[in-house]
Amino acid sequence: MPSPTNSSDSQHDQQPQAEVDQSPKPAHATTGSSTTPRSRLNKTPKIVANGSRAFRWYILALVIVIIDQWTKWLAETNLTFHDPVPVIEPFLNWTLAYNYGAAFSFLADAGGWQKWFFSGLALVMSLFLIVYLIKAPRKATLLSLGLAMVLGGAVGNLIDRLLHGHVIDFIHVHYADVWHYPIFNIADVGISLGVLLIVIDMLFLEKKREMPRS
């Protein structure tokens, strides 16, 4: 006959043991009287758009349009068509020329429809840039500068196509009679420099703006 002591010990051995939670606990960093997950310490910077401040970039684009149209007027009133005027020999001439196509006279001999095609393309691009300048990050100065320059150049050449049916060019960069760069204008300079600034921002500055703060 089992003794009462043995029965009590047997029942005690059969009692379930409390389980110990060995699952990994989330790492926390203590700040003051509360605990904050470490993941929340790395905050993605808030991007503030240009908004109404885009107006100053519109002013810059307008300045480029005014300079472009003024220099084209000077070229038309003081130069003879395809008659070069030496400026810095043998590298730079003023040479009045008309471009009925796009850059590098692309589709210049298409028959007339290219005027409306490139005009419509420039108009769509201009409207897109106007809206994009509002949404561009306020701190992205280089990007906004590039967008404004492209906008000014696009509008400058658009005015030419609508008023004259062609773009007025007069800046002729060359080396003697060995090498000649296609004749261009101030609007083309604005577009080229603007695209360069946009590419620089995309390659070197855009990722830095999106990096989380530690």
Q: Which residues are catalytic?
A: 169, 188
For 186, phi then psi, to 5°, come to -65, -35
Q: Which of 173, 180, 132, 181 is nearest to 154 (CA)?
A: 132
With b for 16 or more beta-carbon neighbours within 10 A and e for fewer, the 133-151 pattern comes to beebbeebeebbbbbbbbb
30 vs 49: CA distance, rounded Å: 34
117 vs 123: CA distance, rounded Å: 10
Contact call for residues 95 and 82 (beta carbons, < 8 A)? yes
Q: Which of 24, 61, 34 is nearest to 155 (CA)?
A: 61
